[in-house]
Every structure is written in C-alpha cells, then in structure tokens.
C-alpha cells in the first residue's frame, strides 16, 4: 500500500487536492476511483469543520468561527477490498 499512500502524501502529510485534481499513479498501479459526496450538517460549534480538517490532514482551526456558506474539501483515501483484494481509491467530497 505504500505506493498508493505516496501518491496522496507530500512531506509525510496529506496533499491538498482541488476539485479538479487527483493523485497521479503510475500505469502499473492504476486503481479505480470511487467518488462519494458527504454532506455534514448540524448545530453550530459541534466540530464539523474540525472533523473535515482532521481527515484532510490540514490544521484544525484553533478558534471557533462559523463557516459561511458551504466549504467543499476533497480527500483521497486508498483502501484494499477484502472480498477481491483489489486496491481502490475513495474520492471523498466533504461539503461542510
């Protein structure tokens, strides 16, 4: 799994990808990308933005401030399926 992790890491931290970007994998390691859109809603100040920041590998905001509108964050997560043993890359679009 190290080559898949290397494609989403930069200096041992998760790379931040834009909406139109994706990890570059060599052709020998090509894996299907499975997209999911995850919408987070809830009361103000419960940690939705902090959760997305922690999963994306970005710094968690130290001070609470309300998110204006919707923040979209894309996270790539490599996984290996138990049933088939094939690697896949989950493309998680968090809408906070």
- Assessment of whether the complete model's pTM goes beyond 0.85: no
Domain total for the chain? Answer: 1
Q: Is residue 2 part of a domain?
A: no
Domain that holds residue 80: 31-95
Domain annotation covers residue 1: no
User: Where residue 49 sits, what CATH number does that domain have?
Assistant: 3.40.50.300
SS3 letters across 15-56: CCECCCCCCCCCHHHCCCEEEEEEECCCCCCCCHHHHHHHHH
Write out the two tokens for 65.
């401030």
User: Looking at the domain assignment, is residue 24 inside a domain?
Assistant: no
Residue 89 inside a domain? The answer is yes
Give the model's confidence band at 55: pLDDT under 50 very low, under 70 low, under 90 confident, else very high. Answer: confident
Q: Is residue 75 part of a domain?
A: yes
Note the pLDDT tens digit of each residue in 7-50: 777 777 777 776 667 777 778 778 888 999 999 999 988 888 88
- Which residue do the tokens 């989950």 mark? 90
């Amino acid at each position: 799994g190290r080559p898949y992790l290397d494609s989403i890491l930069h200096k041992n931290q998760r790379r931040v990808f834009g909406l139109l970007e994706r990890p570059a994998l060599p052709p020998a390691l090509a894996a299907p990308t499975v997209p999911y859109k995850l919408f987070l809603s809830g009361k103000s100040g419960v940690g939705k933005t902090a959760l997305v920041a922690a999963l994306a590998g970005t710094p968690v905001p130290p001070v609470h401030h309300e998110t204006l509108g919707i923040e979209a964050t894309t996270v790539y997560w490599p996984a290996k399926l138990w049933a088939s043993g094939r690697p896949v890359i989950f493309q998680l679009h968090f809408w906070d």
